[in-house]
């Protein structure tokens, strides 16, 4: 299962790199409060962190909103290639948003609550 997940992550990053039109570099993995984070940095600034346990969570951070909007577009295009064509996938894709530092980000507490719903 772990090998399959790693292959899917590599496929996702390769597609994203192609859609985003800039290199994406692997920074490493961290385990914080029993959650595994895979981190990546973008060639033109910004970074991406993926919490790989269910429910999977993805946060990208940028200095400029324009970079975030470009990333969002590339992310949606990437996910459209990976996800099945279903109403649920469409709903998910439509829920992807760009926030600024004043908006609520995904906290450990929120992630734990979402995880409990799935169990």
69: its two tokens: 């909007």
Residue 70 to residue 61: CA distance in whole angstroms: 12
**What's the chain's length in residues?**
119
Q: How far apart are CA 71 and CA 47, in angstroms?
A: 10
- Give residue 119's pLDDT band: very low, low, confident or very high (50, 70, 90): low
In a domain, 84, yes or no: yes
- Overall domain count for the chain: 1
- pTM for this entry: 0.80
pLDDT in tens, 12-65: 999 999 999 999 999 999 988 878 899 999 999 999 999 887 778 899 999 999
Residue 117 within any structural domain of the chain:
no
56 falls within a domain:
yes
- Has residue 102 been placed in a domain? yes
Q: Is residue 22 part of a domain?
A: yes
Domain extent at residue 6:
2-112
């Amino acid at each position: 299962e772990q090998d399959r997940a790693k292959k899917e992550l590599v496929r996702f990053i390769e597609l994203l790199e192609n859609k985003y039109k800039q290199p994406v570099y692997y920074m490493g993995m961290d385990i914080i409060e029993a959650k595994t984070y895979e981190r990546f940095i973008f060639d033109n600034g910004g970074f991406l962190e993926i919490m790989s346990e269910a429910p999977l969570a993805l946060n990208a951070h940028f200095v400029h909103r324009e970079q975030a909007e470009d990333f969002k577009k590339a992310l949606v295009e990437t996910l459209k290639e990976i996800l099945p064509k279903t109403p649920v996938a469409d709903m998910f894709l439509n829920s992807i948003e760009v926030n600024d530092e004043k908006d609520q980000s995904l906290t450990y507490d929120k992630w734990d609550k979402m995880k409990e719903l799935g169990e």
